[in-house]
Amino acid sequence: MVIQKHRYFSHINWMFLCFIGLIITYFQWRKDQKYKQKELLLKRIIAFSETPGALNAELMLASADRDVPLWAKEKIEERYIRIKRQEVAVALIPETYLPFQYSSKESAIKDSFDDFLIKLSHIEMYMSASLLSSKDVKVIMNNVITTLNNLKNGSEVDQSLLKHLYLYIIWKKHAGVIKLFKRFNIKIDEEIKEYEEVLIE
């Protein structure tokens, strides 16, 4: 009888230890999966400018007058075209305010910024899902915010580009970008009212 009880309790202990082991293994697996997922997302963030569109948009925001690889041509010398800041500012005016007249150059500029804004929307999506923190995206967002602040404190043309970029974000309904910028103290929805009034005038 004593031996049977001993075997019974030994069996219970063994099952309990197995259960605990399974729980520990499961949580370790979840932790590893989250780490791998975060690592993958960070790689995507680091590669933010590796797509041609996003890279071109960053170049156009950072430089007032420069050659940009706007075309997907086989020969390198055929990819580049000179783009001035005023051209970018005009291209980003929403059709609500300026009816669009087709231009391959203007369309390519819009496509570049669409890619750029989609990338920013993805960052906000990852942050909203608690997959990435502000610290994780600090480097890329610091570059973006610095560029926007430089435009805000720049020439009249610089400020015009920033104004039209914000209008374009609203017009394209990039709620994720608006939310992301708010995290970094840029409140588009508040600033846009003044910009709209100026543009309408």
Q: Is the domain of 127 the same as that of 170? A: yes
> Domain count of the chain?
2
pLDDT value of residue 117: 95
pLDDT value of residue 32: 43
Q: Is the domain of 83 the same as that of 166? A: yes
Total-model pTM? 0.75
Q: Is the domain of 69 the same as that of 6? A: no
Q: Is the domain of 27 the same as that of 110? A: no
Dihedral (Cα; 134, 137, 143, 148), 10-degree rounding: -50
Q: Is the domain of 32 the same as that of 112? A: no
> How far does the chain reach from its first CA to its final CA, in angstroms?
97
Q: Is the domain of 62 the same as that of 34? A: no
Q: Is the domain of 42 the same as that of 55? A: no
Domain closes at, from 12, 27, 46: 46
**Tens of pLDDT, residues 52-110:** 889 899 999 999 999 999 888 878 878 899 999 999 999 999 988 888 778 899 999 99
Q: Is the domain of 76 the same as that of 114? A: yes
Q: Is the domain of 155 the same as that of 77? A: yes
Q: Is the domain of 89 the same as that of 169? A: yes
Pair 7, 97: CB distance under 8 Å: no
Q: Which amino acid is at 95?
A: E
What span, in angstroms and rounded, lies between the C-alpha atoms of 146 and 185?
12
Q: Is the domain of 168 the same as that of 195? A: yes
- Listed in sequence order, the residues at least 6 apart from 177 whose beta carbon sits closer than 8 Å to its beta carbon are 117, 120, 121, 124, 169, 188
Q: Is the domain of 38 the same as that of 19? A: yes
Domain closes at, from 29, 46, 63: 46
State the average pLDDT over residues 142-164: 93
Domain assignment of residue 24, given as a range: 1-46
Q: Which amino acid is at 114?
A: D
